[in-house]
Amino acid sequence: MNAPLSENMSESKLKTGSKSLRTPDVVIIGAGMSGILSAVRLHEAGIDSYTVYEKAASVGGTWRDNTYPGLSCDVPAHMYTYSFESNPDFSHRFAMGPEIRQYFERVAKEYDVLPKVKFNKELVSAKYVDNKWHMKTQDGDEVIADIVISACGVLHHPYTPGIEGLDTFAGTKFHTGRWDHGVDLAGKKVGIIGTGSTSVQVIPAIIDKVGHLSVFQRTPQWILPLAQKTYSDKSKERLRRNPKLAARIRNIYSWLFEKTFARAVVGAKLPQMLVGLASRHHLKSKVKDPALRAKLTPDYQPMCKRIIIGNGFYEAIQRPKANLITGDIERIEPTGVRTKDGVLHPLDVLILATGFKAHNFMRPMEMIGESGLTIDQAWEKGTQAHRSISLPGFPNFFMMIGPNSPIGNYSLISIAELQVNYILQLIDLWRDQTCDAIEPKPQATERFNEAIKGAMGGTVWVTGCQSWYLDKNGNPAMWPWTYERFTEDMSHPRLDEFNLRRNGCNSAEAEAASV
C-alpha cells in the first residue's frame, strides 16, 4: 500500500447534518478492476458491510480470463493503475497481462478485499422487493442486500460466431478469451479468425512457433505502432522511492490520452488527422507489397472501430509461413475452413479471436426491478442508463462501466474511479436516511439518452463501420462528449434527476433533496 486513501473522500460525502448514519448491506457483483475499486472505496467511506460475489476462483476479471500469448495493455502501465496505488514494478511502458493481473491481486490483498469476496459464486438472479434486493447464486444461496453495485465488466462473454459447421471442426478450437494452454502450437497448421486488438497481439506472439498461420480477416483495421520500452531496475527503484513521481507520470499520460484519443473520437479534427497520418504511415512503412497493403487498408476512418495499438502484426503477416485470407468464410469443415472461393484452408488448430458480447453487462443474470420490470424489458430497445450508472425501475442498483461509459483507448480505471465517487454520493443519501430507495426519474433518463443520441452525429463511431461499440440498433453505446464533460458530470449527482423515496413515499426531505 503506498498512498493515503482517497483524495475524493471528502467529495464523496454529502452533508449529513445531525442525522445518524445507517450502514447498508451492499453486494458488489464481480471482483475485477471495478469490483475491487468499489470495495476499497466502500471501506474508505466507512461501509464494511459489503460482500463481493465472484463467479470465478480468483480476482482480476478480464486480466484473469485473458491469458493468450502476447496479452498486454495498450494504455501505458503507469496510467493503468488506481490513483491511490501505483506500481513501481511494471517491467514495460505498456504492461504485460500477467503483471496487470498481479497488480489487481496485490491491491485486493493489501486493501483487505479478499476476505470479503465469495469466490465461485455466480449471482444468477436479483429481484427488488420492499426496498431490498433478493438474489440467488448458481448453487442456491440466497442473498439480501440494500444496495447492489454491478461491477461485471464489459468484455467478458466471448462471442462465438454462428459460422456454419463450426462444431464439426475435428481439430482443436478455442476462443482467445479462454486460451487453451494445453495445446502445443509448435509446427501446427493454425488458423485465426478475426483481426481485432486481440488477434494483433496474438499473431506476433505465436508466429515463430506455428508451422503455418492462416489469418481470416473480414475487415482490415487501422493499427498504430506501440512505443514500447523496458523499465530498468534503476527506474523502478526511483518510482519505489518516490510514489509522487508515479502519480505525476499517471497524470501526464492521462492528459496526453485525453487530449488525443479521447478528443479524436468525439470529433476533434487535429488529433483525428494525426492518428490517421500515423496509422497510414505505419502501414505504408511496414508493408511494401502494394497488393498486400491494399488488402490491409481499411475503407473507413481511423478510430471508427477501436484503433489498434500494437507492434509486429504487419511483420508477422509477411512471413512466408503466414497467409492473410480476405475472402469470406463459407463454412467450417472437419479439416479446416472453406472460403467462398471454394478453397479449403487445412488446419490443426482454429483460434477464434472474434471478440465479445459487449452489451450483456450483468446479464445473463435475471433482474427484476420494481413492479416486475425485467432488465430485458428495460433494455428491449437497446442498453441504456442514466449517466451510465443507474436505471429507472431498478432502485438502489448501480453500474460500474455501464452503458455509454467513455470506454475505448483510455484508462477504464480512471473512468471507474469517477463513477464510484458518484455512486457513493447516492449511497450517502440512503445512509443519512434521506431515502430508502433511489432511482433515476424516467424523464431525466430519457432526456439524457436523447442528448447522447443527438450528440453521436459528431463522433467517429458513426462514420461508416461495424464495431462492438454499436448496439443492436446500430447506435454507439459510447460517451459522445469530452472526457472533461464526463468528469464534470460525475463530480456530483443532480438530485433533481432522481426519485428519492422513504417508506415507499416521496418524503419531504427527499423532495427537498430532489430540487
Residue owning grid cell 509522487:
244
Q: Is 411 in the site for ligand NAP (CB under 6 A)?
A: no
- For 404, 449, 497, 501, the CA distances from 445, given in Å and listed in that order, are 12, 6, 8, 18
Q: Considering only CA atoms, which of 282, 257, 303 is closest in space to residue 413?
A: 257
* Residue of 193, 266, 349, 391 interacting with ligand NAP (CB under 6 A): 193
Q: How far is the CB of 201 from ligand NAP (least distance, A)?
A: 6
Q: Please, which of residues 447-466 interact with ligand NAP by CB under 6 A?
A: 466
CB 446 within 8 A of CB 393: no
For residue 27, report the phi and psi dihedrals to the nearest 5 degrees: -110, 130
Residue 83, Cβ neighbours under 10 Å: how many?
A: 17
Instruction: Respond yes or no on whether the N-terminal peptide bond of residue 364 is cis (omega within 30° of 0).
Output: yes
Binding mask 293-332 for ligand NAP (x = CB under 6 A): -------------x----------------------x---
For every residue of 46-73, DSSP letters joined together read T---EEEE-SSSSS-THHHH---TT-B-
Q: Is 250 in the site for ligand NAP (CB under 6 A)?
A: no
Among 71-79, 246-254, 292-300, 439-447, the segment contacting ligand NAP (CB under 6 A): 71-79
The one-letter code for the residue type at 46 is G
- The set of long-range contacts for 208-212, using a CB threshold of 8 Å and a minimum separation of 24, is 209/185, 210/185, 210/186, 210/321, 211/186, 211/187, 211/321, 212/188, 212/321, 212/322, 212/323
Comparison of 199 and 419: residue with beta carbon closer to ligand NAP: 199
Q: Give the integer Cα–Cα distance in Å for 307 and 260.
A: 12
Comparison of 50 and 216: residue with beta carbon closer to ligand NAP: 216
Among 35-43, 69-77, 128-136, 372-380, the segment contacting ligand NAP (CB under 6 A): 69-77
Task: Give me 85's grid cell.
Answer: 496505488
Q: How far is the CB of 285 from ligand NAP (least distance, A)?
A: 22
Comparison of 215 and 500: residue with beta carbon closer to ligand NAP: 215
Q: How many residues bind ligand NAP (CB under 6 A)?
A: 25
Q: Please, which of residues 332-361 interact with ligand NAP by CB under 6 A?
A: 353-356
CB 34 within 8 A of CB 11: no
Q: Give the integer Cα–Cα distance in Å for 455 and 467.
A: 18
Q: How far is the CB of 56 from ligand NAP (least distance, A)?
A: 18
Q: Is 155 in the site for ligand NAP (CB under 6 A)?
A: yes
User: Which residues touch 218 (CB under 8 Å, ≥6 apart)?
Assistant: 194, 195, 328, 329
Q: Is 197 in the site for ligand NAP (CB under 6 A)?
A: yes
Comparison of 61 and 194: residue with beta carbon closer to ligand NAP: 194
Cα–Cα–Cα angle for 181, 335, 346, rounded to 5 degrees:
85
List the beta strands (DSSP E) in 197-287. Answer: 212-216, 223-224
Q: Is 73 in the site for ligand NAP (CB under 6 A)?
A: yes
Q: Is 198 in the site for ligand NAP (CB under 6 A)?
A: yes
Q: How far is the CB of 325 from ligand NAP (least distance, A)?
A: 10
* Residue of 32, 196, 302, 395 interacting with ligand NAP (CB under 6 A): 196
Comparison of 230 and 503: residue with beta carbon closer to ligand NAP: 230
Q: Is 163 in the site for ligand NAP (CB under 6 A)?
A: yes
Binding mask 209-248 for ligand NAP (x = CB under 6 A): -------x-xx-----------------------------
Comparison of 72 and 449: residue with beta carbon closer to ligand NAP: 72
Q: How far is the CB of 160 from ligand NAP (least distance, A)?
A: 9
Comparison of 119 and 174: residue with beta carbon closer to ligand NAP: 174
Q: Is 421 in the site for ligand NAP (CB under 6 A)?
A: no
Residue owning grid cell 495499438:
309
Positions in the binding site for ligand NAP (CB under 6 A)? 72-74, 155, 161, 163, 193-199, 201, 216, 218-219, 306, 329, 353-356, 466, 468
